[in-house]
Amino acid sequence: MHSRSVKSFTLIELLVVVAIIAVLVSILLPALSVAREKGRQVSCLSNLKQIGVMLFLYADDHSGWSIMAQPEPRFSGDWEFGGYHETLENLKYLTNRGTFFCPSAKDVGFRTSNVSYGINYWTFGYNPSPDISPNRPVKLAEALSFGNGSSLIYVGDALRSWVNGNSALAVSIRQGPPYPYAPYGSYGPTEARHLDNVNCLMAEGCAMSLDPAEIVNYFHWNPTQDGNPAGSGSLWWRP
């Protein structure tokens, strides 16, 4: 009978194997993280396309008028889900609230269920009250008549905060340095939460991602209401 010798790993060999595994993990994890975020980004773009369908159906049913960011009357008084999304739900355009929640959005402050998307209110109006600007509703065709419908932002990723359930969207970027900051950022600033990009629904119906340098291009926010008192507001190009 011959005894069988068993060869075991030395400590150095085990350390080499562990080091190789650690290197592979460090290489693969960032790629997996990017792939996971890409999936969330696609899901968010799908949400925006569905929101676009609701908004276009609303306009068709209301003689071409686009919904405002904070239309009246309010129905439930639910400030965490209050605004144009509440109106769409009440009028049966919206059947699943999950459509208004971006999978990449993070909660800010004490609210945990604010919606993720706001309307470009400097073009399409914020609230009809004469004490709030801009207070002029706009026909979708009127906004598209400027010829930049495929570039005009209609709805997009907005920073989740206490501000009216995030119904509004403005041209500023809120993600911290080194992102640029532009005027009109007091309500619902855009948030670059998809690999430093902002997902947007354009006024002609397509959804796309824009980087911060592109978001602050006023071409995406024109025409803009001038904020005059109710009944005298107009649309104009901002240089």
Q: What does 7-23 look like in DSSP terms, one character per residue? A: ----HHHHHHHHHHHHH
Determine how β-strand 235-236 pairs with β-strand 153-157. Answer: unpaired
| pLDDT recorded at residue 178 | 36
| The pLDDT of residue 234 is above 70 | no
Q: Which of 98, 89, 99, 123 is nearest to 48 (CA)?
A: 99
The more confidently predicted of residues 205 and 185 is: 205
| The pLDDT of residue 111 is above 50 | no
172 contacts: CB under 8 Å, gap ≥ 6: 181, 182, 183, 184, 185, 189, 190, 216
Structure tokens at 60: 């068709």
| pLDDT recorded at residue 15 | 79
| The pLDDT of residue 231 is above 60 | no
- Describe the strand order of the beta sheet including 189-190 as a list of residue ranges: 189-190, 168-173, 117-120, 153-157, 198-202, 207-210
pTM comes to 0.77
38 contacts: CB under 8 Å, gap ≥ 6: 195
- Which pLDDT band, with edges at 50, 70 and 90, does 43 fall under? very high
| The pLDDT of residue 56 is above 60 | yes
Please list the alpha-helical segments (H only) found in 91-193: 121-124, 140-144
| pLDDT recorded at residue 65 | 95
Q: By three-state DSSP, how is residue 168 classified?
A: strand
| The pLDDT of residue 80 is above 60 | no
Q: By three-state DSSP, how is residue 118 classified?
A: strand
Range from 15-19, 51-55, 94-98, 184-188 carrying the lowest mean pLDDT: 184-188
Other Cβ atoms less than 10 A from the Cβ of 67: the count is 25
Range from 31-35, 111-115, 143-147, 190-194 carrying the lowest mean pLDDT: 111-115
Residue 23 CA to residue 79 CA, distance in Å, equals 48
Residue 67 CA to residue 62 CA, distance in Å, equals 9
Q: By three-state DSSP, how is residue 97 classified?
A: helix
| The pLDDT of residue 211 is above 60 | yes
